Structure formats: C-alpha cells, structure tokens
C-alpha cells in the first residue's frame, strides 16, 4: 500500500466532482457524504450528487450539494440511510459506455463512489470505460459497508455501528428469552453480512457470562453441519435451560449449498438475496428436539439504526470522506481511498485489487469447537464499537442461581 501525504499545490484546482452512494446503506454513510461536502467547500470544489446513483445519472436526477450551510451538513451527518438514495443497478456494457459521457456533460472531473466491494468493482470498470472513451475522469472508491468484507482495510465505515446494534440486540433478546424460558427455550438469530461472518461474530460482544447469550455463533466461513448443530443446541439447553444461537445469513453446508435459502434468492443479474437460514433452523430444532424454538431476524435496522451508531465509526466515516476529496485534489485515480498513518494522510489501494473481493473472518478470531469468538477478536471489535454497557442486573448478580 502506498502512503501519501496530503500536499495540495497551488496549481490547478478541479472544479466539479460527482458523488454517489451505492449498495446497501449504513447508519453512518451520510457522515462520509458530509465529510466530502465540507472538504469540497473548504477547497471551492463544486459537488454534485447523483440521486439513486447511476439510475439518477441516466435519468438526469442530480442535486447540487455545494451550497449546504454548516447546520445542514451537521443534519446530514446525523441522518442514517443513504441521503442521496442508493442503487443496485447492474452496470451493463451499454450503461458503462454512457457513464463517462454523462459525467463529463455535468462538468465532472472526478467521481467519488461511496460503497462496498461491489461498488469498488463498479468504480474500476467505470475508470476503464472512461479511458476507453478518452475521457479524463478520476474515479475514486470511498469505502462503506456494514459487512466489513472489503479487503485491505482494518475495518470499514458502517461496520462498527452495525456491530454495536447486533451485539445490543443479541444481548437484550437473550435477556428476554431467559425470562421466558419456561415458555420458549431456543431463539435462532439471523444476522446480515453476506458470505462472511464479521457481523455475526460481533454478537460475541454481548456475552459477559458463560450462561449469557449468545451460547453459539455460526459463521458462513465454517461449513455447517445439521447434526452437529442439533447436538450443540441440545447440550446448551441441558446446561442453561435456554439457548440463543446466532447464524450469519450466508451459512452454507460443506458442498456450498446455502442453509435454508429461499428459491427466490437468486436474482436474474446473478446477485443473491440472503435470508432464510434462521427460519429453517428453528423448524429443524422444533422437529428434532423437545423444545420450543423461534427464529428472529434482526431486520434492516441492523444497517440503519441511528441510536446504535458508534462514535468511532461516525468519525472514521466522516474522515474517509474528507480524505477522498484530498486524494481527488492530489490527482489520484482508479483507487480506493484508505486511512493513512495519521488523521491527515491517506493511502490508496488499486480498485482492481479490492473490487469484488471478499475479506473473511480469520481463523484466529473464531473457535469452531466452542462456536464462540476469541478474546483477540473481541479486542479488535471493541475498537470499532467503542464504549459498551454491561450494567444490566440479573438474578445471578444478587446471588440467586435461577433453576434450569
């Protein structure tokens, strides 16, 4: 990775950049947009937003963000979800051919795409398309995703807040279930993250006692075995009288078949809608064990819940937006912007090295025998999530061991 010190020269200052938000939103994606807008203002750069990303570009739906006042930028910073509207429109050859021309028509010399690993792939093919069309266009990827699956980054803006939501939800659902264990004994909680288990693993932060939720965590990185799963649920139930199991939405069997995927999950464009594992597994538990089990989906709230925003994540999301503008002003192109060694420096990774690739949870962060995350993972995770409140009271804390 090449380390770049931000030194702006008094030469030519580019006049206009185009910004878009693509892929799934996050609770802090607008902090990045706020960072871009404010750094553009500091440098007298005009900044135009594409409404619903490339769909907006094709339809001519463009919004000028250059004149937002400080209070409005602060409100933007505070707002979850993608302010500009997002898109998952697949970029076909004919769309790709049009993009450089349409951006040029808007006067854009730079294109900043705030997105995940799919977006980085898109950014690279747009950069190549611009070169094919002989259009001078600097394309930069600005990382965001709740999945934390972008290679080359310590952590991705969006992940820390989603991780905090997941950990809080799993802890509170566990407390709810423990209270209700005479009625219902097992909850299977499905967590987003596509085919990697960073977010599912984040549930491990909720556990402050061996008896506390989550009792078992299943990551997509490990082949899923139904018989093993049933015996692990049974064992935990016999020990604690209730079981919270967390599954990453991308869990799959040894042969690669997804666990419980709906037949509608494959889209025409080849991408996949995840979901269904928890429902399937709760049915499996109900059929194979003498307990009552329920599936729980943490819903879209995990990628947009304002109250769970991590302050570290907010700040990093804002900073990466500012750094992206610095990189643009420095003439960088066809790269993803990453943090540097200090607040004012950035580093770059070629888009072709990160686009469409996936970063898995390393084996050192997960114990496949206990189905728990390791202390090393929790140490890493705490930096992304920030302060964590363990002040809940249980009967255990006042010296009473609840009967199983």
Ligand X SMILES: O=P(O)(O)OC[C@H]1O[C@](O)(COP(=O)(O)O)[C@@H](O)[C@@H]1O
- Binding site as annotated, residues for substrate: 145-147, 192-194, 249
Of ligand X, ligand ADP, Mg ion, none, which one does residue 89 interact with (CB within 5 to 8 Å by kind)? ligand ADP
Q: Which two tokens stand for residue 9?
A: 């020269």
Q: From the annotation, which residues make up the binding site?
A: 24, 117, 145-147, 192-194, 249
Strand partners, 38: none
Which of 194, 187, 195 has the alpha carbon at shortest distance from 171? Answer: 187
- Any contact of residue 138 with Mg ion (CB under 5 A)? no
Which of 110, 113, 43, 8 has the alpha carbon at shortest distance from 337? Answer: 113
Of ligand ADP, Mg ion, ligand X, none, which one does residue 193 interact with (CB within 5 to 8 Å by kind)? ligand X
Q: What burial class does residue 161 get, using C-beta atoms within 10 Å of its C-beta: 0-12 exposed, 13-18 middle, 19+ buried?
A: buried
The bridge status of strand 138-143 relative to strand 216-218 is unpaired
Which of residues 21, 117, 127, 335 is near Mg ion by CB under 5 A?
117
- Any contact of residue 152 with ligand ADP (CB under 6 A)? no
Which of residues 23, 110, 157, 197 is near ligand X by CB under 6 A?
23
Instruction: Please identify, using beta-carbon distances, which residue of 188 and 196 lies nearer to ligand ADP.
Output: 196
Of ligand X, ligand ADP, Mg ion, none, which one does residue 192 interact with (CB within 5 to 8 Å by kind)? ligand X
- Any contact of residue 321 with ligand X (CB under 6 A)? no
Q: Which two tokens stand for residue 89?
A: 């429109």
Question: Binding string to ligand ADP for residues 106 to 145, with x set by CB under 6 A, is what?
Answer: ---------xxxxx-xx----------------------x
> DSSP strand E in 100-228: where?
110-115, 138-143, 186-191, 216-218
Q: Which two tokens stand for residue 94?
A: 């004919």
Q: Which of 69, 147, 313, 367 is catalytic?
A: 147
Question: Binding string to ligand X for residues 246 to 285, with x set by CB under 6 A, is what?
Answer: ---x-----------------------xx-----------
Q: Using CB under 5 A, which of the segments 89-97, 118-126, 159-167, 171-179 binds Mg ion?
A: 118-126
Q: Using CB under 6 A, which of the segments 40-48, 190-198, 225-233, 236-244 binds ligand X?
A: 190-198
Of ligand ADP, ligand X, Mg ion, none, which one does residue 121 interact with (CB within 5 to 8 Å by kind)? ligand ADP
* Concatenated DSSP letters of 177-190: HHHTTTT--EEEEE
Q: Which two tokens stand for residue 196?
A: 């990697």
Q: Using CB under 6 A, which of the segments 28-36, 69-77, 131-139, 141-149 binds ligand X?
A: 141-149
At what angle are helices 117-132 and 93-105 packed, to 10 degrees? 70
Which of residues 25, 49, 116, 160 is near Mg ion by CB under 5 A?
116
Q: Is 297 a residue of the active site?
A: no
C-alpha pair distances (Å), 92 with each of 14, 96, 193, 195, 364: 29, 6, 26, 24, 39
- Any contact of residue 220 with ligand X (CB under 6 A)? no
The bridge status of strand 293-297 relative to strand 366-367 is unpaired
* Residue 271 near residue 88 (C-beta atoms within 8 A): yes
C-alpha pair distances (Å), 122 with each of 52, 153, 309, 341, 385: 15, 18, 28, 27, 29
- Any contact of residue 54 with ligand X (CB under 6 A)? no
Of ligand ADP, ligand X, Mg ion, none, which one does residue 91 interact with (CB within 5 to 8 Å by kind)? ligand ADP
Which of residues 20, 23, 47, 326 is near ligand ADP by CB under 6 A?
23
Q: Which two tokens stand for residue 182?
A: 């005479």
Give the residue numbers marked as catalytic.
Answer: 147
Interaction site with ligand ADP (CB under 6 A): 22-24, 54, 87-91, 115-119, 121-122, 145
Interaction site with Mg ion (CB under 5 A): 116-118
């Amino acid at each position: 990775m090449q380390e770049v010190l931000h030194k702006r020269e008094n030469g030519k200052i580019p006049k206009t950049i185009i910004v878009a938000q693509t892929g799934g939103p996050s609770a802090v994606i607008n902090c990045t947009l706020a960072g871009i807008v404010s750094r553009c203002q500091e440098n007298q750069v005009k900044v135009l937003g594409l409404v619903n990303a490339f769909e907006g570009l094709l339809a001519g739906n463009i919004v000028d963000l250059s004149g937002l006042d400080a209070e409005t930028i602060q409100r933007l910073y505070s707002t979850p979800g993608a302010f500009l509207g997002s898109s998952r429109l697949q970029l076909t050859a004919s769309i790709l051919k049009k993009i450089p021309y349409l951006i040029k028509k808007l006067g854009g010399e730079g294109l900043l795409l705030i997105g995940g690993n799919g977006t980085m792939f898109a950014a690279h093919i747009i950069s190549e398309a611009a070169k094919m069309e002989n259009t001078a266009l600097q394309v930069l990827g600005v990382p965001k995703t709740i999945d934390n699956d972008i290679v080359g980054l310590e952590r991705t803006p969006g992940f820390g807040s989603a991780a905090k939501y997941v950990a809080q939800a799993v802890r509170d659902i566990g407390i709810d279930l423990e209270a209700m264990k005479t009625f219902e004994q097992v909850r299977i909680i499905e967590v987003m993250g596509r085919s990697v288990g960073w977010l599912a693993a984040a549930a491990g932060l909720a556990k402050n006692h061996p008896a506390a939720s989550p009792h078992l965590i299943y990551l997509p990185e490990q082949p899923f075995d139904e018989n093993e799963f049933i015996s692990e649920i049974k064992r935990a139930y016999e020990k604690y009288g209730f079981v919270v199991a967390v599954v990453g939405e991308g869990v799959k069997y040894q042969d690669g078949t997804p666990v419980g995927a709906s037949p509608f999950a494959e889209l025409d464009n080849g991408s996949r809608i995840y979901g269904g594992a928890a429902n399937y597994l709760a049915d499996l538990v109900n059929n194979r064990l003498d307990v009552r089990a329920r599936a729980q989906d943490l819903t879209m709230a995990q990628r947009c819940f304002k109250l769970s925003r991590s302050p570290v994540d907010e700040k990093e999301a804002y900073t990466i937006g500012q750094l992206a503008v610095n990189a643009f002003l420095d003439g960088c192109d066809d790269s993803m912007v990453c943090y540097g060694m200090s607040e004012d420096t950035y580093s770059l990774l070629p888009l072709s090295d990160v686009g469409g690739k996936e970063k898995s949870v390393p084996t050192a962060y997960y114990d496949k025998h206990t189905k728990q995350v390791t202390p090393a993972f929790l140490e890493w995770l705490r930096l992304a999530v920030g302060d964590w409140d363990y002040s809940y009271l249980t009967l255990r804390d006042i010296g009473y061991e609840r009967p199983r």
